[in-house]
Structure 1
């Protein structure tokens, strides 16, 4: 069964998002570097071996980019956006997507330079042509590069991930076919993650920017 590589917590401002996440969790994310050409930069909060939370925000050092960067800048507040699933067989996942009738743009090579100067490379596979939006994960292969979680452990752990969607009846078998094991419920579209943190149990949601912070009782 594939495992969750990372959560994407989208935010309009990186520094303020790092501060907010620290206030909620008691742990401080570490700057991870810029995504050249994408207009974005990130910070990383470890969630245990092989898993982390990525704060993804616009990079003011890059020219304003259309698409994802401008969408990040337009957010009113940080929000849990989507998640990535780790695999070392992107080619096999691509075939499964095609058999499920989902197009994709092929395997996309990417890279960024860490604050230390080290270049990190990875490859992505992003399904398209479906009605699930960011609730459908994308797939990532780090190859020979170090995993971002290797250098960070701030005492947080991912304990649960739940997807809610009006078409849960079709999303569930799709993710099962892709060997993605997450809880799926019927309801308004939402992704929620539960974390064990130094501040206790914390819940992040794709509706945080609408409904405000949602934190589980400790």
Structure 2
């Protein structure tokens, strides 16, 4: 089961242009420029995943700038990583409050924004990419407020087949997910494998795994 309130997945890399080119080659679908994140040193490209969900490819806006942005651990990555998933609850503040009451703190809600290629400023609220996110298994929470949602602009499309998590302590991860009232299938990682998220996509070039 894919969480019905899934807003987007975040695929991060230290070289965004190389990431976009590689995904285009693997899928036959070219992600479109989303825009630049104000004050964060990052840029993103987007591709739809069906309905109101999308895949965000994110990396440094200027590859030559140092240090690289620490957003989603970009400054520590050596290659692409499915770094996060983002859920859009009906009431962001109430979800944060209930999660804290259940023993998990998703962090304080903060305002963010990005400038689209046509000059529009999109503004939203998000729980920060900080704290214990269980190697990306605990989702960020988003409220788009009055902003036009990225999927409303007719993104090129892939299809999300499945989203799963790997964690060495699945019961602990499930407790956090329950506190956030979100659904994610979590199993132990394969022997020697890292914890984290795994997404399977249907593409014009066949099925791929991120």
Measured against the shorter chain, the TM-score band is 0.7 to 0.9
Q: Secondary structure at the match of 2:147?
A: coil
Q: Tell me what 2:19 maps to.
A: 17
The one-character-per-residue Cα deviations of 1:54-92 (angstroms, maximum 9, x if unpaired) are: 111011189645761594244222121111111231111
Q: 1:26 aligns with which of 11, 17, 28?
A: 28
Contact 2:174 2:186 in 1 (8 A): yes
Q: 1:113 aligns with which of 115, 126, 130?
A: 115
Q: Secondary structure at the match of 2:136?
A: helix
Change (3 A) 1:70 1:126: closer
Q: Tell me what 1:199 maps to.
A: 205
Q: Tell me what 1:208 maps to.
A: none
In 1, distance between residues paired with 2:98 and 2:72?
Answer: 32
Q: For 1:1-218, what aligned pairs fall within 5 Å after superposition?
A: 3-60=5-62, 64=66, 68-69=70-71, 71-126=73-128, 129-130=131-132, 132-187=134-189, 188-204=194-210
CA RMSD of aligned residues (A): 2.3
> Offset at 1:171?
1.2
Q: Secondary structure at the match of 1:155?
A: coil
Q: Provide structure 1 residue ranges, at least 5 long, that are not aligned to the other structure.
A: 205-218
Q: Normalising to structure 2: TM-score of the pair?
A: 0.87
Q: Provide structure 2 residue ranges, at least 5 long, that are not aligned to the other structure.
A: none
Aligned length: 204
Contact 1:164 1:190 in 2 (8 A): yes
